[in-house]
Amino acid sequence: MQKRRLGKSTLEVSALGLGCMGLSQGYGRPVDKQQGIALIRAAVDRGVTFFDTAEVYGPFANEELVGEALAPVRDQVVIATKFGFGIDPGNRTQRGLNSQPAHIREVAEASLKRLKTDRIDLFYQHRVDPAVPMEDVAGIVKDLIREGKVKHFGLSEAGVQSIRRAHAVQPVAALQSEYSLWWREPEQEILPTLEELGIGFVPFSPLGRGFLTGAIDENTSFETSDFRNTVPRFTPDARKANQALVEIVGQLAARERVTRAQLALAWILARKPWIVPIPGTTRLDRLEENIGAANIALSADDLREIDNALSRVTVQGARYSEQLQRLVDR
């Protein structure tokens, strides 16, 4: 697989990464541990070198899974994890935001152990904490980088001002936020800022949490623990209305002789050379399908045609519940 560099940093990764959250939470029951390990190692065998996790996924279980899966090939891959939440270690429940410097250091030490490694390649602040100055957050990560425990600093769902404040203290290698054919808000302010500052972009949910693949419609039932049950964009009425977008994506994909998922990922890859999407999956066939997108080159004419076609559709429903939207720094 081709490699990409995240902005002006020295961090080089496969053009497509693997978002590992869904192996442990978010989309129904966690996969069997050995199944998860097998999938991650299959990704490595197929050229993926960039793996995304977080202490809060599980909590803790996903880092443990990723650490065990990648231990035999640790020097061949890039591992990204995140800090920024308080977690009760007794019952492993989330307790709101916490980016106090002392806590960030504690998280780094614990993550290193769970990941079975001596360094974190990319350490993201999971969500901006309004109770802690961004300069303090960037400062402690800078200290961890000096100590060799962290290699690069990242932010997730941060707004422009937070990005600039962090970058002034410790260069930010990458910003992670949602971006896809049905969520293009980052194009307004985020992407121009990242390009100006030389920061890479790592889109999560590049397949619209599965919706852009065409596998979900208004009659689809999700498991009770599935995160999408809480998302306004996934109510039955919204799913029915948003089928118009999926139909157009399907038509465009058929013309290119690719799948919907491959078109959606190829579209992101064609936007900028410093963008690296991290689609997640629990299935080998979907992993291979997604990886195939890295070999699809869309032309400028293709991109204009896609934009023109999709401009006729207004996507219905917010991407987050009000509670989760409050955690987004914009």
Is-contact 284 37, C-beta < 8 A? no
The rounded distance, in Å, linking the Cα atoms of 115 and 330 is 31
33, two tokens: 């541990």
User: Strand pairing partners for 22?
Assistant: none
Identity of the amino acid at 142: K
The 3-state DSSP class for residue 174 equals strand
Instruction: Classify residue 304 by burial, with Cβ atoms within 10 Å: 0-12, 13-18, 19+.
Output: exposed
Identity of the amino acid at 118: D
The rounded distance, in Å, linking the Cα atoms of 177 and 73 is 27
In this structure, what DSSP letter does residue 74 have? G
> Residues with Cβ < 8 Å from 295, sequence gap 6 or more?
none
Whether 57 is a known active-site residue: answer yes
DSSP letters, 206-243, are TTGGGGGGT---TT----TTBGGGG-GGGSHHHHHHHH
Cβ-based neighbour number of residue 10 at 10 Å = 10
- Say which of 27, 57, 124, 179 is annotated catalytic: 57
**Buried b / exposed e across 275-289, counting CB within 10 Å, b at 16+?**
bbbbbbbbeeebbeb
Identity of the amino acid at 263: L
Catalytic center residues? 57
